[in-house]
Amino acid sequence: MDVFIYSLTDPRTKEIRYVGKAIDMDKRFYGHMLVHRSNTHKSAWIKSLKRAGLKPEMDILETIHDSDDTDWQESERWWISYLRMIGCALTNQVDGGHGGRRASAETRAKQSAGIKRHFANNPEARAFRSKQCSERRHSPETIEKMRRVQSNRSPETLAKMKAAAKARGRPKHWQKFAEAGWAALRDPKIQQKRIQAVRESFTRRAALKPPKPEKVRKMFFGKHTEETKKRLSDIAKAQWASKESRNKIQNAIRRKHSLPEIV
């Protein structure tokens, strides 16, 4: 796994204001831009940029290849101490090396409950989040990266994903939609509307006049020269001349209509 030590630079002064660690650069940058509920020094700086219609510039300072999620910490501490030594006004609250710590199950449960209460009691926040998600678009580079990840999954990984999906089962909201759909189909009024729509469709088809043979002939054969027409005719005759070809064509038709094939 590759780990990136990156910096966020103020586009107005070209001064580095933050140093961090990331595995997915696009996802990390998107996380930095969601600062509407944060009150840190870094968030206040990013909010000032957003009010001015700007975004911080993200650059990779160092790449740690095949990281085991511990060796990047020393690199992050070094970059923070070095940039502070040369006079950069960093917004980092700590000296680095803390990004890999995982919150406990109890902490994550508290965070989840707090977020749910926030959105449950704040319709404006729900509307803002919904709009934000609907307007989010992946860059072409991210789409290509996601496509490569999807295509490079091993059969073992796909089997595990399939087993996990079966164990989870279908979401509860899907069952509600399905029940509502079947209830609507059983409604006599909706059934009558569907029958009426089918009848009108057949009536419109019956009212259409079939095209004249000359028009059909011109549509399909008008652009071919006499030589091309002869060649197409010879090919069709050759296909029907062979018993094997005839059986193959007839068996294809029989399979389409669920009939026994010719041996």
| pLDDT tens-place string over residues 70-106 | 678 888 888 888 888 888 889 988 776 555 455 567 8
Q: What is the CATH number of domain 3-100?
A: 3.40.1440.10
| Residue 262 DSSP class | P
E strands, the chain, in order: 3-9, 16-22, 57-64
Give the pLDDT confidence score for residue 201 in this predicted structure: 78
Model confidence at 63, in pLDDT bands (50, 70, 90)?
confident
| pLDDT tens-place string over residues 127-172 | 887 877 777 677 788 888 777 777 777 888 888 888 887 877 766 6
| pLDDT tens-place string over residues 171-185 | 666 677 777 777 777
The CA distances from residue 84 to 4, 18, 67, in Å, are 19, 10, 25
Q: Is the pLDDT reported for residue 249 higher than 80? A: no
Residue entry with tokens 């004249």:
212
What is the rounded distance in angstroms from the CA atom of residue 244 to the CA atom of residue 250? 10
What is the rounded distance in angstroms from the CA atom of residue 75 to the CA atom of residue 63? 10
Q: What percent of the chain has pLDDT over 90?
A: 10
More confident residue, 36 or 48: 48
Residue entry with tokens 């029989």:
254
Query: Could you state, in order of their start, the residue ranges of all structural domains in the chain?
Result: 3-100, 102-136, 173-207, 223-256
Closest CA to 235 of 223, 250, 245, 225: 245
| pLDDT tens-place string over residues 197-243 | 888 877 776 676 666 666 666 665 556 677 877 887 887 777 777 77
